[in-house]
Amino acid sequence: MESSEVWAALENVKDPEIPVLTVVDMGIITAVQQTTDNRQRTTCIVTMTPTFVGCPAIDVMKKSIYEEVKKLGFDTVEVKVDFETAWTSDRMSEEAKTKLEKFGLAPPPHINGELTEEQLNNVRCPHCGSTDTTLRSAFGSTLCRAIRFCFNCKQGFEQFKPI
């Protein structure tokens, strides 16, 4: 099977905490591997890396990935979770960041390895587009969100944390 077919199937798996993004948009799929043994039995191994170590959505995503890939007809499907490739918010695609902003969540800036305090400033409000915003709390409704406030439209909003 073309590996693009597996990736297409993975596009059907949404992040349960951010339903506009797929696991592919999020950049949490790190490898797709297919093998056929000498009895012509096919196996597909999908490897994923968690956004946060304690992310409670992992098991749900793992199960959905298994189900979607199994539909393609493999004899065996294995979904592995490891930290071989550490997830950072830089793994999100540009398309994903646009979808996030439309969803009302400010996307994370590109941090290139190390988060600095400056990167926590200059965040654009997803409601009115102003950058006159401030960090209210680095901790929000899920592990991956921070709470911010916009001085221009006087609204609170959430940001997907750069990590």
Contacts with other proteins by CB under 8 A lie at 52-56, 82-84, 86-88, 115, 117, 136-141, 143, 147, 161, 163
Cβ atoms within 10 A of the Cβ of 42, count? 15
Q: How far is the CB of 23 from other proteins (least distance, A)?
A: 18
Q: How far is the CB of 138 from other proteins (least distance, A)?
A: 5
Question: 60 or 72: whose CB is closer to other proteins?
Answer: 60
Q: What are phi and psi of 119, to 5 degrees?
A: -70, -10
Cα four-point dihedral sign 68, 74, 75, 78: negative
**Residues 136, 142, 143, 146, Cα dihedral to 10°:** -20
Q: How far is the CB of 45 from other proteins (least distance, A)?
A: 17
Q: What are phi and psi of 45, to 5 degrees?
A: -110, 120
Rounded Cα–Cα distance for residues 100 and 20 (Å) = 7
Name the one residue in this structure whose structure tokens are 């695609």: 93
Q: Quick one: DSSP state of residue 152? A: T
Q: How far is the CB of 129 from other proteins (least distance, A)?
A: 25
Q: How far is the CB of 145 from other proteins (least distance, A)?
A: 9
Question: 42 or 91: whose CB is closer to other proteins?
Answer: 91
Q: What are phi and psi of 162, to 5 degrees?
A: -70, 135
Question: 8 or 86: whose CB is closer to other proteins?
Answer: 86
Question: 59 or 132: whose CB is closer to other proteins?
Answer: 59
